Structure 1
C-alpha cells in the first residue's frame, strides 16, 4: 500500500512540473524533500530518463536561439572557458594531493567542476578506470553544490545588479551541471538563458581534450573517450531557427516544452539526492569540491563583471 502511494505521489509531482507555477528551483527543492521522506519508486529508470530528457530539452532550446547571437556569446565566453578550466583542474588536482583525497575522485570532481558536472564525470570515469564508489562520491559532491547554486546564483546576480549577459556567462562558468546552469539562467531571464546554454555547451566540448589528456597520462586507449554528439544537434536547431522561416510557427512550442522538460529533469535529480547519498560521500571530497567551486565562482564573477558590460 505504501509503495502504491509513493508511486502515485511521485507521478503526480512529475505531472506538476508541466504547470507554470513550478519553476526549476522549486522542482529541485520538491524533489529533494521527496527524497528525504520517500524512496524513488523508479530509481533505476530515473537516471536514464535524466540523461536523455536533458539532452532532448537542451536541443529543443536551440529552436529559440539565433546563430549570430550564439556565436557572439560563445566568443565572449571562450577566453573565460580556457582560463577557468585550466585553473579549476590544476587547483583540484593540487588540493586533492594536499588533502590526501583519492586521486581518481579528485580528478572526477575537478573535471565535473571545470567542465559540465555529471556529464564530464561520466566521460572521464572510464578513462581513469574509476569504480562505482568513486564515481558516486564525485557525482554526489558535484550535485550537492549544483543544488545550492541553482538557488544562490540568481539571488547573487540580482543583488550585484548583473546584466543578463553577465549572468549568462557567469552561471555557465561557475555552475557545474548543464541542468542547473539552464535552471538558474531560466529564472534570471530569457537572454541569460540563451547565453548560458550556448556557453555551457561550448564549454562541454572541452571534455574531449581533457579526456585525451587523462587518457595519455593514465595510459588508456582513446577508444574510451565519449563524444557529446547532442551538442551538434543543438547547433542544427539554432541554424534551423535562424534560416528556416516557417520554423517560427512551431519553435515557441518546442522551446516551451524544452523548458518544461528541464524543470522535470531537476525534479528527478532532486528525487535522488537523499541524506544517505550525501553521508556516503565523506567530508574530504565535499571540502575539496567546495573550495574549487568557491574559487572558480569568485574568480569568474570578478572577471565577468569587470570585462563584460
Structure 2
C-alpha cells in the first residue's frame, strides 16, 4: 500500500500526458507523440513545480517511469521486427543503410569536435539524428544517465529538424525524380523519428510511406549496438563492477523478442497493437522526463547542439542520396 500511495499519482500523471500526446500526435504526425509528451510534461512541470519536485506528490511515479518503462517499450518494438523481414529488406538496402550510418558516425565525431560540444550532448544529438530520433535518445539516456537538460535539448533539436524534413523532403524528392521506393529509402535512412518518416512518405505516396517505415524500423535496430557501445565506453564504469549490475538488460530482451517474432510466435493481428503500445510507453517516458525540466536549464545549454544536429541531418541527407545514386536506386 505504501508503494502504491507513493507511485500511483505520478504514474497516472504520465499515463494521462502520454495518452493526450498520442491523440494529438496522430493529428500532427510531423511533430509526433514523443515530442508532444515531452513538451506537455515540461509545461506541467513548470506550472506545478512543487508537485513535480523531488519531494512532490508526482516525483516517485515519474522517477519510476524514467527508470524502468523504456526497456519494456523497446522489447515490444522488437516483437514488431521479425528477423526474417529484417534480413529481406536489409539485404536490398544494406549499402545505403550501413553506409549512411558510417558516414553519420564519422561526421558526428568530426563536427562535434569542431563545435567543441560536450560529450553527453554530442552523443545524444548524434544517436537521435543518425539512428532513431527520440527513441534512440531515450535508450541512450538509460545507459548514460546524462543531465536532464541535455536530454531535453537533444529532443528539441530532433523536433525542429523533423518538421524541416517533413516539409522539405517530398518536394525535393519530386524535384530529383525519385521513385516511390527510392524516396522511401531516402526518408527511412535520413529522417529522424518514425512518425516524421511516415508523414514524409505519405505526402510523397503510399508505396513510399510503406517502404520508408520498413527501412526506418530496420535502422532502429542500431539501438542495440548503440546501447552496447555506450555501456562499454562509459567513463564511470568500473572494471570491478559485475556486468549484470550495469548492462542494459532490455538490449538482450529486445534481441530475444525479435527472434521470437521471426519464429512466428507473435500473431500478425498483434503487430499494430504492440507498435501503438510501444509508442505510448515511449511517450510516457518522455512525459516523465519533461516534468523534471525547467526552461532555465534548457536555455543554458546554448545553440551549439542545434547547429550540430542541423549539420548531421544535412550530412545524412546528402550521403544517402549519393549512395543511392552509386547503387542504382534512383
Same fold per superposition (TM over 0.5): yes
Matches within 5 A, 1:26-65: 27-28=33-34, 30-39=36-45, 41=58, 42-48=61-67, 50-62=69-81
**Aligned residues: CA RMSD:** 4.3
Q: Does 1:292 align with 2:312?
A: yes
Matches within 5 A, 1:57-206: 57-62=76-81, 67=84, 69-103=85-119, 105-107=121-123, 109-116=125-132, 117-118=136-137, 121-122=140-141, 125=144, 132-133=146-147, 136=148, 138-159=150-171, 160-161=173-174, 165-176=181-192, 180-181=193-194, 183-187=195-199, 188=201, 189-201=209-221, 203-206=222-225
Counterpart for residue 128 of structure 1: none
Inter-partner Cα distance in structure 1 for 2:254 and 2:18: 26
Q: Give the C-alpha shift of residue 197 in structure 1.
A: 0.8
Inter-partner Cα distance in structure 2 for 1:305 and 1:270: 37
Question: Structure 1 pair 145/132, CA: closer, same or farther in 2 (3 Å)?
Answer: closer
Inter-partner Cα distance in structure 1 for 2:197 and 2:322: 18
Q: Give the C-alpha shift of residue 124 in structure 1.
A: 7.0
**TM-score under structure 2 length normalisation:** 0.64
Question: Structure 1 pair 55/156, CA: closer, same or farther in 2 (3 Å)?
Answer: same
8 A contact 2:143–2:231 mirrored in 1? no
8 A contact 1:186–1:193 mirrored in 2? yes
Q: Name the SS of the counterpart of 1:22 in structure 2.
A: helix
Count of residues in Structure 1 that have an aligned counterpart in Structure 2: 283
Matches within 5 A, 1:205-220: 205-207=224-226, 210=229, 214=233
* Gap runs ≥5 in structure 1: 126-130
Which of 268, 272, 277 is residue 251 of structure 1 equivalent to?
268
Q: Give the C-alpha shift of residue 98 in structure 1.
A: 2.5
8 A contact 1:185–1:196 mirrored in 2? yes
Q: Name the SS of the counterpart of 1:229 in structure 2.
A: helix
User: Structure 1, residues 5-63: CA drift from partner, whole Å, max 9, x if none?
Assistant: 9987764454456769936545346424523531274431332355134213312323x
Which of 245, 259, 268 is residue 236 of structure 1 equivalent to?
259
8 A contact 1:95–1:288 mirrored in 2? yes
